[in-house]
Structure 1
Amino acid sequence: MAKDYGQFCGLAKASSVLGERWSLLIARDLSVAPRRFKDLHEGLPGVPTSVLTARLRDLQVAGVVTRVADERPGGGVLYALTPHGRALETILDALGRWGAGAMAAPGPQDVITDASLAAALRASYQPRATCTTTSYLIHTGAATAWAEATPTAITVGLGVPDLLADLTIHSGPELRAVLAGDLSPAAALSSGAVRIEGSSDVFERFVRTFHVPLTEAAMEVTR
């Protein structure tokens, strides 16, 4: 059960709802798209089934998550954010940018999931960095996500979109250095760290549109 800090304080209330282990990552995944329990479990490697069940129950009691009917063939139930939960999106993005500033490279046990990649794209989006609408499909390791960026808005999703992307990117963890501005688009392509299907000009637009710099401390680690 979520901890009650015994304070009449908004931050204390938010901590009581989201401070338990896995709660923020569940909210992150559901902010990208409603998910079945099975999909949530598979997309959160390491979370025990019992803990996921408990966290979803707590988030439902807090009015952050709800259950809705899945309209896809086979039916079933989806977990989705409520309007109160969807208000977390900008907060999750801000936390994601803050945390990414200290992330130069993944550790040996770190994984990238479809939802974490999609959320990272949304968090790193730079409004007014592009003057046109562009769709991207990104493969990073085993993770796949897509993004459609306009001058003022970003939409992200899991897996391969229905529409043909303007640019498809294949990369490993080196994509983090590109988004940080530490690896130029030309160098990423010439070194083979990134492969693209599409124009190099559109790849340069991608790099302008999605950007999260590293902190000084994280940059020191890479030197």
Structure 2
Amino acid sequence: MVKDYGQFCGLAKASSVLGERWSLLIVRDLSVAPCRFKDLHEGLPGIPTSVLTTRLRDLQVAGVVTRVADELPGGGVLYTLTPHGRALQPILDALGRWGAGTMTTPQPEDVVTDASLAAALRAGFQQGATDTTTSYVVHTGAATAWADATPDAITVGPGAPDRPADLTIHSGPQLRAVLAGELSPAAALSSGAVRIEGSPEVFERFVRTFHVPLTGAAEAVSR
């Protein structure tokens, strides 16, 4: 049951829909790509099946999520965002940038998923940072995502695309320092913190295109 705060306030109404645990992450994953229930469950480590079922039902009642038939043979049912739900994308990206501003080193129990990596790339996209179209594949830990960047827009997806990329990146948590501007592209490559399939020049373009600096709160949060 969705909680209502009893206030005639847009923020209160938004919080009643998205404020329950896991709700924002479900919407995040669906903003990257429609998902089957099984894929959603596997992509949200730690969420009980019963909670996922409840959250999806509440989001459907709120008009944020809907169910559609998968066009692939034997595909079953997909969960996807409604137009009302897709309107949350810039809000999700802004929240992602805000939260990433305090992220330095992951905790041992922290995981990166395909969808969370794709969403992070979308949130970090710097419009106008490049004057060409470039395709990227990023592997960090067990997670993989792809991004196609133009000067004005970004398209992302979970997993590996079915086509070659201009640049493929292999990295661990050090990639966060690169995107924050704390570790230069050249230093990341020379130290082995990042390995690439492609040219160093395209990697430098990647770093310009996806940038999420650390904020002043990062030091306090990391203590």
How high is the TM-score relative to the length of structure 1? 0.98
Cα RMSD for the two superposed structures: 1.2
Partner amino acid for 1:97?
R
2:56 is aligned with what amino acid? Answer: L
Partner of 1:147: 147
2:194 partner letter: V
1:103-118 to 2 correspondence within 5 Å?
A: 103-118=103-118
The alpha-carbon deviation at position 105 of structure 1 amounts to 1.3
Q: Deviations over 1:11-51 (max 9, x none)?
A: 00000000000000000000000000000000000000000
User: 2:186: which partner in 1?
Assistant: 186
Paired residue for 2:68?
A: 68
- Offset at 1:217? 3.0
- Separation in 2, partners of 1:190, 1:62: 50
Which runs of 4 or more aligned residues in structure 1 lie more than 6 Å from their structure 2 counterparts after TM superposition?
220-223
Could you give the per-residue CA deviations for residues 93-150 of structure 1, whole angstroms, max 9, x where no partner exists? 0000000001001101000000000000000000000000000000000000000000
Q: Does 1:164 align with 2:161?
A: no
1:174 aligns with 174
Whole-Å separation in 2 of the counterparts to 1:19 and 1:124? 24
Is this contact kept in 1: 2:121–2:147, CA < 8 A?
yes
Q: Structure 2 counterpart of 1:118, which letter? A: A
Percent identity over the alignment is: 84
Supply the AA of the counterpart residue of 1:79. Answer: Y
From the superposition, tell whether residues 222 and 203 of structure 1 become closer, same or farther in structure 2 (CA, over 3 Å).
farther
* 1:72 Cα deviation from its structure 2 partner: 1.5
Deviations 1:164-211 (A, max 9, x none): 100000000100000000000000000000000000000000000000
Shift of 1:75: 2.3
1:203 aligns with 2:195: no
Of 70-79 and 90-99, more deviation after overlay is shown by 70-79
Mean CA deviation greater in 177-186 or 73-82: 73-82
Name the count of aligned residue pairs. Answer: 223
- After TM superposition, the structure 1 = structure 2 runs for residues 118-129 of structure 1, keeping only pairs within 5 Å, are 118-129=118-129
Query: Equivalent residue for 2:135?
Result: 135
Tell me the CA shift for residue 74 of structure 1.
1.5
Amino acid at match of 1:107: Q
